[in-house]
Amino acid sequence: MKQLAGWIVRAWLALMVLMPLPALARPVLLISIDGLRPGDVIGAQARGLKLPNLTAFLTQGSYAEGVVGVLPTVTYPSHTTLITGVSPARHGIVSNTTFDPLHINEDGWFWYAEDNKAQTLWDAAFLARMTTGNVHWPVSVGARHVTWNLPQIWRTGHPDDRKLVRALATPGLVAELEAARREGYADGKDETLAGDKLRAGFAQSLIRHHQPGFLTVYLTALDHQQHVTGPGSAEAHQTLEAIDGLVGDIIALEHQFHPDAVVAVVSDHGFASVDTAINLYRPFIDAGLVTVDPAGKISGWSASPWASGGSFAIVLAHPEDAALRAKVGALLDRLAADPASHIAQVIAEPAIAAAGGNPRAAFFVNLKIGAIATPFLGSGLPLVLPPVGYKGMHGYFPAAPEMRSTFLIAGPGIAKARNLGEIDMRAIAPTLAKVMGASLPAAEKPALPVQP
């Protein structure tokens, strides 16, 4: 069955490039594979990977050699840029987790679409009079103009999380699709391949029952596996090959209902192997910038690290305090001069603004590739720790080649076998808007030259 689906996809992609460009807006299917490195597709054969559905885009569509991402290169800021065409400074999703210096939000993420200040592709499709659908895309809780929404959210991994998803999805949608499929929807915190298989199946049911004109689908298992066993591991390769089959199944069903659909596959960041963790809270506590109570909990702060994978944003409680700013800057300079700190670079507000990064950050600390930025884990821990549970990470500054992500696109009116070279992530959303016959006027980059 998987081989048949793969053959159908390849035949469909070949057919689509021969079809004339329709006068009306074209349906778009946007699939994100979290953590997909471009080299795993472009160099699949050399790496021993069997990815018939993904590699078909290289000959039957257009592709990027690499996508330069945003600051920081983590999932939520990147996915919001992918769907808005603007940087984190503009859309407001500046990290995965919300700023929580006192650690009272129980590791809360930027789940809620109201925190995104930019127009999305869902909005653009709505304005182009298209229906829209979503399966698990980040920052989608309460998203406007999503006709059928299965948003991403979790709290604890407890079964009550399923009730939370039902309550926040389009009313009745989870129950409708569960009844049609005779199986339950995936837990919000399930990032395994089993979770991806469920979500891919629900995406197919959403296509079958509602045929949204613009559909977003987010798959998480490759990112999860690369964190646990490292990029390029045998386990990561097995996971990616399984995801390739899921992508083929989704595309095969999409083209049954929308033969003229354009399909894009993206990722949010690359990956790097890691062997060290850096606890920046240690020097901040020692300097009196973060205070802890007798129980070891944070009780106050004047400057706080905000971890994002391989980097830290540094937020000042009183940005107008020149003495505080100087004290923090001097501390970071001392740390950067010490090889044990694994700091590659420290930038301040002008450079952060130029990179489109977090406007709340007075400083941004980029760790050397191979080191992880830890959140607050306890007041008694040292600066340097083992990366417990992690063999791979992202979140470093976007200039790192290891952080390059993926863009593939095929369908009617899309050039065949076109290498777009290295592209800016902000160019993807306006490209897809143009394909839909819509627009994103606030996008920071023009559409890519994907048409013949």
User: In terms of residues, how long is the chain?
Assistant: 452
Residue 17 in this model has a pLDDT that exceeds 60: no
pLDDT in tens, 46-74: 999 999 999 999 999 999 999 999 999 99
Average pLDDT (68-93) is: 98
Q: Which of 161-165, 202-206, 237-241, 365-369 has the lowest mean pLDDT?
A: 161-165
User: How far, in Å, CA of 403 to CA of 145, rounded?
Assistant: 31
- What percentage of residues in the chain have a pLDDT greater than 70? 95
According to DSSP, the β-strands at 66-68 and 422-424 are parallel
pLDDT of 18 reads 42
At residue 94, the 3 state secondary structure works out as coil
Residue 202 in this model has a pLDDT that exceeds 90: yes
pLDDT in tens, 230-285: 999 999 999 999 999 999 999 999 999 999 999 999 999 999 999 999 999 999 99
pLDDT of 25 reads 76
Provide the pLDDT confidence category of residue 11 given band limits of 50, 70 and 90.
low
User: How far, in Å, CA of 4 to CA of 7, rounded?
Assistant: 5
* Beta partners for residue 262, in sequence order: 28
Alpha helices (H) in 269-321, listed in sequence order: 281-286
Residue 9 in this model has a pLDDT that exceeds 90: no
pLDDT of 6 reads 56
Position 336, amino acid = A
pLDDT in tens, 292-339: 999 999 999 999 999 999 999 999 999 999 999 999 999 999 999 999
Task: Look up the pTM and report it.
Answer: 0.94
Q: Which domains does the chain have, with CATH numbers?
A: 2-270+401-435 (3.40.720.10), 276-389 (3.30.1360)
pLDDT of 15 reads 47
Q: Distances in Å between the alpha carbon of 101 and those of 55, 107, 363, 373, 375?
A: 44, 11, 16, 15, 10
Q: Distances in Å between the alpha carbon of 100 and those of 108, 167, 307, 327?
A: 8, 25, 11, 22
